[in-house]
Structure 1
Amino acid sequence: MNQYKLINLKGEGTFSEVWMAESLRTGKLVAIKCMKNVFANEEQVNNLREIQALRRLSPHEHIITLHEILYDKPSGRLVLVFELMDCNLYEHIKGRNKYLNPSKVKFYIFQLLKAIEFMHRNNIFHRDIKPENILLLGDHIKLADFGSCKRINSEHPYTEYISTRWYRAPECLLTDGYYDYKMDLWGVGCVMFEIIGLHPLFPGNNELDQVHKIHNILGTPPKEILDRFKKHATHMEFDFQPQHGTGIDKLLVNSNASPDCIDLIRKLLIYDPDQRINANQAINHEYFRELVEQEQYNLLQSNLKTQKVLKKNSMQSGYDDKQSRVGNENLIEDDRSSKRVYNYNKQSSKKSQSIPPPNKKKVETSFKNSYAHDLSTEEETMKFALPQINKPITYAQTLKKTYDPKKIKTQKRYLKQLSR
């Protein structure tokens, strides 16, 4: 900690407190999370869910970046150094009298869903989605506080009293820890309503009051859903009176929320988790169509720009695509030619092994007397001084009996080599 200078306290929770600090090495501002618990060794530190999750999920544009882990073994104190954000979403809407711009709300939720979709795809769910854990830097959203996260494929039951009560899904409220990653989507629906309406949707005073507030707005679910929850519940009585909820639409009448926006909130706040949409389906909802199209267009432009840069660099280095293809063809042709030469030499070497090596003296003597031509005669006598032949051979005899092109070529090659 002697590398950082604490400036002021940003926030405090059950297990930690967060400070704004300045790095004495770089001069940059950071957020320092001081854990209240004491850790006996480094193994306990490395087994922390938050550290394991951030190591697995980083880097991602919408998930908080962990810069450094500071552990003091003698005292057992642990400090996590994060990037510094401006504020959280709760602070951003606290005390506001005017509604947020609808396009800004859409952008916030779109970024949040992208973080959750990536997290779920990597087999982790957050379990504590609420405005305080959604951080802002300008209009850029980052999800933080992974201290309660869980692996999706881990065994039930999970911790019963997880998540802040106002954002807790019905399956968490009614069962003894039998819930799954869909609880994160319920939390997104609650957050989405809150930043549009500027007040919490289900502000229950206790567990039972929380359930009643959900039923007052959404209505009681079908009996088969309650019976399914009841199989895994021992801490709560299921004697709920059937009732029709007031609906979410009436609560957002004056908020300028579009029909697509309200439809998405309804699908995120479906009572039955099996029927509730997942993060990928939420991202592809009609409500985000313009943002998805814009993102696809930006990706296409980025790819085209990358291709142009690569092509420009290749042309500057004198090696464009066309030259590359021609060069590759030449390399292939050269390779084929070298193989043909190799095979020819290999065959020639085999043949030459069957012919006895020439006697240099005899070859030199016979070479002087070779090619004795007598053009006046009809036979046109032609004498060849060959290593294995000691007497001249007439041209007529060569044609009739003794002419062997392969042998003659081989012999001529020996003669040329020796003449050199």
Structure 2
Amino acid sequence: MEKYTLMKQIGEGSFGKVWQAIKKQSGEYVAIKALKQRIYSWEECLNLKEVKCLRKINNHPNIVKLQELASENYRLYFVFEYMDCNLHQLMSNRKQYFSEAEVKNWCFQILQGLNYMHRQGYFHRDLIPKNLLVSNDTIKIADFGLAWEVDSCPPYTEYITTLQYRAPEMLLMSGQYNSKVDMWALGLIMAELITFHPLFPGTCEDDQLYKICNAIGSPTEESWAEGLELAKAHGYKFPTLEGNNLSLLIPSANDDEMSLIELLCSWDPCKRPTAAEALQHPLFQGCLQVPRPVFGDSETDAVNGENLASMSIDSCKMRLTPSVKKSGWKAKLIDWFLRWEPFSSLLLFVACILHMIYFMLWYL
């Protein structure tokens, strides 16, 4: 990490901290995400979910670019391209609403990133405005710490994304959800781009479900039979509400915008469009899609596993650069102490006592 100068902290979470930094050689700004979790080997690094995901999707203009992985003193650092702000900050600081063209542009770019991510076999699970980074007219999906494989076996964790962007199946504690939770979140983000307010500002799971019911009507056997069974299994009873016209909550939305939001905010995940289907919606007529990346074919990646690893580590500069070299019995002893970190204080105390006893006996 010696080749970077840390400027200021720009984020913090349960994972660790994010810093704005400068490359000393080029003067380029980067964002460095420092994990709290200790990493002891290159193999352990490659097995992290976030690293696996980024190696598969690190080649799209609407996904934040990982430039390098670096290790120092058993800590892992993700070095990303630097973006000016996140979408939440952009909306909070604006004094006027986005134009229809701007809303369409943001949503089209997010959909392209999601489509690529889903096609590469991952879904995000935490798609919120704070995880969408903006520079000029470009928006990129970021923070893949909760991303999961599309083909992995459920059940999944129920409490993942921020409450106000959580899909109904997640609110009902289903462990069987899929990439359609990202599409629900996108529908809410799209509405928020128009109004600058969360569409369903619930304060808890029950309140969130109530606000959804009040807006789009309670689910029925026809609209979401599986959801009714899920609610029954968890002892939850949906309120009986016909719902208001969703357009009343987004009065400035045009017909095409409302049409897509209503599709994305379907109770039944199966009735929500995929990212690829949403890109074909009339709202985006005339928009030019980004060409498929050269290494963007999941089938090619699966066949050429060695080429993928080589591309990820070398061409994309995703490399582990340890600054501390460890060898011999001393390193093994240090590793042992570090791996038993919860007991390190106790071990140190015992070592000090034994050391004092030794010198007392020697002195006597």
What is the TM-score of this pair, normalised by structure 1?
A: 0.66
Counterpart of 1:318 in structure 2 is none
* Correspondences of 1:28-177 after superposition (within 5 Å): 28-72=28-72, 75-177=73-175
Counterpart of 2:329 in structure 1 is none
CA contact (8 A) 1:197 1:252 kept: yes
* Correspondences of 1:16-415 after superposition (within 5 Å): 16-72=16-72, 75-223=73-221, 227-229=225-227, 236-253=234-251, 255=252, 257-292=253-288
Alpha-carbon distance in structure 2 between the residues aligned to 1:235 and 1:208: 15
Task: Identify unmatched segments of 5+ residues in structure 1.
Answer: 300-420
CA contact (8 A) 2:227 2:268 kept: no
Alpha-carbon distance in structure 1 between the residues aligned to 2:50 and 2:60: 15
Alpha-carbon distance in structure 1 between the residues aligned to 2:255 and 2:222: 30
CA contact (8 A) 1:175 1:234 kept: no
Residue 210 (structure 1) shift? 1.2
Secondary structure at the aligned position of 1:109 is classed as helix
Secondary structure at the aligned position of 1:200 is classed as coil
258 and 229 in structure 1: CA distance in 2 versus 1, 3 angstrom threshold:
closer
Provide Cα deviations, 1:89-111, integer angstroms capped at 9, x if missing partner: 00100043421111011000000
Alpha-carbon distance in structure 2 between the residues aligned to 1:77 and 1:127: 25
Residue 40 (structure 1) shift? 3.5
Residue 224 (structure 1) shift? 6.0
Residue 290 (structure 1) shift? 2.2
One-letter identity of the residue aligned with 2:36: K
6 and 235 in structure 1: CA distance in 2 versus 1, 3 angstrom threshold:
farther
What is the TM-score of this pair, normalised by structure 2?
A: 0.76
CA contact (8 A) 1:135 1:141 kept: yes
One-letter identity of the residue aligned with 1:261: E
Report runs of 4+ in structure 1 exceeding 4 Å deviation.
224-227, 230-235
One-letter identity of the residue aligned with 1:62: N
Task: Identify unmatched segments of 5+ residues in structure 2.
Answer: 293-364
Alpha-carbon RMSD: 2.0
Residue 229 (structure 1) shift? 3.3
Secondary structure at the aligned position of 1:43 is classed as helix
CA contact (8 A) 2:221 2:228 kept: no
CA contact (8 A) 1:50 1:146 kept: yes
The number of residue pairs the alignment matches comes to: 292
286 and 224 in structure 1: CA distance in 2 versus 1, 3 angstrom threshold:
closer
Alpha-carbon distance in structure 1 between the residues aligned to 2:233 and 2:39: 33
Alpha-carbon distance in structure 1 between the residues aligned to 2:111 and 2:171: 23
Secondary structure at the aligned position of 1:94 is classed as helix
One-letter identity of the residue aligned with 1:186: W
Counterpart of 1:15 in structure 2 is 15
CA contact (8 A) 1:176 1:234 kept: no
Alpha-carbon distance in structure 1 between the residues aligned to 2:125 and 2:232: 21
Residue 19 (structure 1) shift? 0.8
Provide Cα deviations, 1:92-148, integer angstroms capped at 9, x if missing partner: 000434211110110000000000011111111111111011111101111111111
Secondary structure at the aligned position of 2:18 is classed as strand
283 and 238 in structure 1: CA distance in 2 versus 1, 3 angstrom threshold:
same
221 and 173 in structure 1: CA distance in 2 versus 1, 3 angstrom threshold:
same
CA contact (8 A) 1:226 1:238 kept: no
Alpha-carbon distance in structure 1 between the residues aligned to 2:132 and 2:183: 14
Alpha-carbon distance in structure 1 between the residues aligned to 2:107 and 2:33: 26
Residue 241 (structure 1) shift? 2.4
176 and 264 in structure 1: CA distance in 2 versus 1, 3 angstrom threshold:
closer
One-letter identity of the residue aligned with 1:291: C
CA contact (8 A) 1:19 1:32 kept: yes
CA contact (8 A) 1:120 1:181 kept: yes
Alpha-carbon distance in structure 1 between the residues aligned to 2:123 and 2:193: 22
One-letter identity of the residue aligned with 1:159: T
Secondary structure at the aligned position of 2:6 is classed as strand
236 and 103 in structure 1: CA distance in 2 versus 1, 3 angstrom threshold:
same
Secondary structure at the aligned position of 1:135 is classed as strand
234 and 154 in structure 1: CA distance in 2 versus 1, 3 angstrom threshold:
farther
Residue 240 (structure 1) shift? 1.6
Alpha-carbon distance in structure 2 between the residues aligned to 1:205 and 1:39: 37
Larger RCO, structure (CA 8 Å, separation 6 or more): 2
CA contact (8 A) 1:176 1:233 kept: no
